[in-house]
Amino acid sequence: MNQPDNLLDPRHYDGVRRPPLEAETLPAWCYTSKEWFDLEVKHIFRKSWILIGATSRVPNPGDFITLTHTGSPVIVIRGRDNVIRAFANTCRHRGAILLEESQGTCKAAIKCPYHAWVYNFNGALQGAPDMEESKGFDRANYGLVPIRLETWGPFMFINFDNNAPGLKKWAGEMYNEILPYDPENLVCTRRAEFDVQCNWKLYVENFCDVGHVKTVHKDSLKKLADSYDKPVETEYVKAEGFSFFVTHAGTRTLLDGVEKKKGFDRIPTLTGRTTHGSYYPILMPLGCIGYCVDSAWALEFYPLGPDRIKLVVNSCFHKDALKCPDFEEVAKDYYYRMDIAVPEDNWINELSQRGLSSPHATPGRIGKLETAIPYLNNWWLDQVLGPASQPSTKGARVRAAL
Ligand code: FES
Ligand SMILES: [Fe+2]
Half-sphere exposure of 286 (CA within 13 A, CB side): 29
Q: What is the pLDDT along the chain (402 residues), one digit of tens a residue?
A: 678 999 999 999 999 999 999 999 999 999 999 999 999 999 999 999 999 999 999 999 999 999 999 999 999 999 999 999 999 999 999 999 999 999 999 999 999 999 999 999 999 999 999 999 999 999 999 999 999 999 999 999 999 999 999 999 999 999 999 999 999 999 999 999 999 999 999 999 999 999 999 899 988 887 777 776 678 899 999 999 999 999 988 888 888 765 556 789 999 999 999 999 999 999 999 999 999 999 999 999 999 999 999 999 999 999 999 999 999 999 999 999 999 999 999 999 999 999 999 999 999 999 999 999 999 999 999 999 986 344 333 444 444 444
pLDDT at 232: 87
| Cα–Cα distance measured from residue 288 to residue 301, given in angstroms and rounded to the nearest whole number | 9
**77 contact partners, CB below 8 Å, separation of at least 6:** 58, 62, 63, 64, 84, 85, 86, 87, 106, 110, 121
- 96: domain CATH number is 2.102.10.10
Probe residue for ligand 1, chosen from 115, 125, 126 as the CB with the greatest number of ligand atoms within 8 Å: 115
* Spacing, Cα 351 to ligand 2 middle (Å): 13
Domain count, the chain: 2
Give the residue from 182, 175, 173 showing the smallest Cα distance to 151. 175
Instruction: Please indicate, yes or no, if residue 160 is contained in any of the structural domains.
Output: no
pLDDT at 309: 98
Instruction: Examine the domain organization and report whether 202 and 292 are in the same domain.
Output: yes
For ligand 1, atom 1, the nearest C-alpha belongs to 94
Contact 263, 251 (CB under 8 A): yes
Q: Which residues neighbour ligand 2 (ion) by CB within 5 Å?
A: 345
Instruction: Examine the domain organization and report whether 57 and 133 are in the same domain.
Output: yes
Instruction: Examine the domain organization and report whether 318 and 180 are in the same domain.
Output: yes
Q: Is 46 exposed, middle or buried (0-12, 13-18, 19+ CB in 10 A)?
A: middle
Instruction: Please indicate, yes or no, if residue 4 is contained in any of the structural domains.
Output: no
- 311: domain CATH number is 3.90.380.10
| Cα–Cα distance measured from residue 399 to residue 233, given in angstroms and rounded to the nearest whole number | 16
Domain boundary among 124, 152, 180: 152
Contact 254, 262 (CB under 8 A): yes
Q: Which residues constitute the domain of residue 379? A: 10-48+168-401
Instruction: Examine the domain organization and report whether 38 and 70 are in the same domain.
Output: no
Instruction: Examine the domain organization and report whether 54 and 44 are in the same domain.
Output: no
pLDDT at 256: 73
Give the residues surrounding ligand 1 with Cβ less than 6 Å away. 91, 93-96, 112, 114-117
Instruction: Examine the domain organization and report whether 184 and 117 are in the same domain.
Output: no
Q: Which amino acid is at 260?
A: K
User: Residue 94 CA: which ligand is closest?
Assistant: 1
Q: Check residue 162 and report its DSSP letter.
A: T
Q: Check residue 276 and report its DSSP letter.
A: G
Instruction: Please indicate, yes or no, if residue 350 is contained in any of the structural domains.
Output: yes
Give the ligand 1 atom nearest the CA of 128: 3
Core vs surface per residue 251-283: b (16+ CB within 10 A) or e: bbbbbebebeeebbebbeebeeebeebbbbbbb
| Cα–Cα distance measured from residue 296 to residue 16, given in angstroms and rounded to the nearest whole number | 32
pLDDT at 54: 97
pTM of the entire structure? 0.94
Instruction: Please indicate, yes or no, if residue 92 is contained in any of the structural domains.
Output: yes
* Spacing, Cα 148 to ligand 1 middle (Å): 23
For ligand 1, atom 4, the nearest C-alpha belongs to 115
Instruction: Please indicate, yes or no, if residue 82 is contained in any of the structural domains.
Output: yes
Instruction: Examine the domain organization and report whether 355 and 272 are in the same domain.
Output: yes
pLDDT at 259: 54
**Distance, CA of 48 to chain centre:** 11
Give the ligand 1 atom nearest the CA of 116: 3
Instruction: Examine the domain organization and report whether 243 and 127 are in the same domain.
Output: no
Instruction: Please indicate, yes or no, if residue 3 is contained in any of the structural domains.
Output: no
User: Residue 217 CA: which ligand is closest?
Assistant: 2
Instruction: Examine the domain organization and report whether 122 and 98 are in the same domain.
Output: yes
pLDDT at 75: 98
Length, in residues, of the chain: 402
* Spacing, Cα 1 to ligand 2 middle (Å): 27
| Cα–Cα distance measured from residue 399 to residue 379, given in angstroms and rounded to the nearest whole number | 8
Torsion of CA 370, 374, 379, 385, to 10 degrees: 140
Cβ neighbours, 10 Å, residue 345: 24
Instruction: Please indicate, yes or no, if residue 235 is contained in any of the structural domains.
Output: yes
pLDDT at 392: 38
Instruction: Examine the domain organization and report whether 87 and 176 are in the same domain.
Output: no
Instruction: Examine the domain organization and report whether 185 and 315 are in the same domain.
Output: yes
pLDDT at 245: 95
* Spacing, Cα 311 to ligand 2 middle (Å): 14
Domain boundary among 123, 152, 181: 152
Instruction: Please indicate, yes or no, if residue 2 is contained in any of the structural domains.
Output: no
For ligand 1, atom 3, the nearest C-alpha belongs to 115
Instruction: Examine the domain organization and report whether 364 and 276 are in the same domain.
Output: yes
